[in-house]
Chains A and B, each alone.
Chain A
Amino acid sequence: MALASRIKVVGDAELSRIHEATVEILEKTGIEFKSEEALALFKANGAEVSGHRVKIPRALLEKSIESAPSSITLWGRDEAKKITIGQGQPRTHVEPSNGCVFTHDMDRGRRASTMADLINFFKLAHQSPVCTIGGAIPVEPNDVPPEERALRVFFETLKHTDKPLKRNVQPAHEIEEMFKMYEVAMGTGYLADHPSIYASVNPLSPLAFDTEPIETIMTYARHNQPVTILSCALAGISAPMSLLGAAVMQNAEILGGLVLSQMTQPGAGLIYAPASAVPNMMNAQYVTGSPETHLINIVNLQLAEELYHLPTRTMGGLNDAKVPDAQSGYETMQNLMQCMLGGAHIINECLGVLDSIMTNSFEKFIMDEEMISRVLRFMQGIDGIHTDLSTELIDTIGPQGSFLTHPSTMKNCRTAWRPTVSDWNSQEMWEKKGSEDVLTRANRIVKERLAACPESTLDPDLEKELSAFVESRL
Chain B
Amino acid sequence: MSDLQSITDALIAGDDNALTQKVQDALDAGTNASTILSEALIAGMDIVGGRMETGEMFIPEVLMSAMAMGEAVAILKPLLAEGEATSAGKVVIGTVKGDLHDIGKNLVVMMLESSGFDVTDLGVDVNIDTFLTTIREKNPDIIGLSALLTTTMPMMRETIAQINASGLGDGVKIMVGGAPVDQAFAREIGADIYASDAGSASKLAKEMMHA
Check if A191 is an interface residue, CB within 8 A of chain B. no
Shortest C-beta distance, A98 to chain B (Å), equals 13
Q: Are B58 and A281 in contact (CB under 8 A)?
A: yes
- Pick out which of these stretches binds chain B: A230-238, A344-352, A409-417, A466-474: A230-238
Assembled-state Cα–Cα distance A147/B152 (Å)? 11
Q: Is the interface of A mostly helix, strand, loop or mixed?
A: loop
Residues A284 and B150 in contact in the complex (CB < 8 Å), given A101-B180, A204-B100, A358-B180 = no
User: What is the number of residues of chain A that contact chain B, defined by CB distance less than 8 Å?
Assistant: 19
Chain B residue at minimal CB-CB distance from A113? B150
Check if A146 is an interface residue, CB within 8 A of chain B. yes
Q: Are A284 and B107 in contact (CB under 8 A)?
A: yes
Q: Are B103 and A283 in contact (CB under 8 A)?
A: no
Q: Are A281 and B60 in contact (CB under 8 A)?
A: yes
Q: Are B59 and A284 in contact (CB under 8 A)?
A: yes
Residues A238 and B199 in contact in the complex (CB < 8 Å), given A142-B150, A146-B154 = no
Q: Are A282 and B197 in contact (CB under 8 A)?
A: no
Shortest C-beta distance, A204 to chain B (Å), equals 6
In the complex, chain A residues whose CB is within 8 Å of the CB of B167? none
Q: Are A101 and B150 in contact (CB under 8 A)?
A: yes
In the complex, chain A residues whose CB is within 8 Å of the CB of B197? 283, 285
Residue of B55, B150, B197, B198 with highest tally of chain A CB at under 10 A = B150
- A residues 133-165 with Cβ under 8 Å of B? 140, 142, 145-146, 149
Check if B151 is an interface residue, CB within 8 A of chain A. yes
Q: Are B100 and A283 in contact (CB under 8 A)?
A: no
Check if A210 is an interface residue, CB within 8 A of chain B. yes
In the complex, chain A residues whose CB is within 8 Å of the CB of B179? 101, 358
Assembled-state Cα–Cα distance A145/B150 (Å)? 10
Q: Are B59 and A238 in contact (CB under 8 A)?
A: no
- A residues 230-278 with Cβ under 8 Å of B? 234, 236-238
Q: Are B151 and A282 in contact (CB under 8 A)?
A: no
Chain B residue at minimal CB-CB distance from A208? B100
In the complex, chain B residues whose CB is within 8 Å of the CB of A145? 154
Assembled-state Cα–Cα distance A234/B152 (Å)? 22
Residues A140 and B59 in contact in the complex (CB < 8 Å), given A204-B100, A210-B100, A283-B199 = no
1/0 per residue B173-205: CB within 8 Å of A? 000000110000000000000000111000000
Contact of B103 among A101, A149, A237 (CB under 8 A): A237
In the complex, chain A residues whose CB is within 8 Å of the CB of B100? 204, 210
1/0 per residue B76-114: CB within 8 Å of A? 000000000000000000000000100100010000000
Residues A149 and B58 in contact in the complex (CB < 8 Å), given A234-B103, A284-B107 = no
Cβ contacts A to B, 7 pairs, < 8 Å? A101-B179, A101-B180, A149-B151, A210-B100, A282-B55, A284-B60, A284-B103
Given contacts A101-B180, A281-B58, A283-B198, 18 further A-B contacts (CB under 8 A): A101-B150, A101-B179, A146-B150, A146-B152, A146-B154, A149-B151, A204-B100, A238-B103, A281-B60, A282-B58, A282-B59, A283-B55, A283-B58, A283-B59, A283-B197, A284-B198, A286-B103, A358-B180
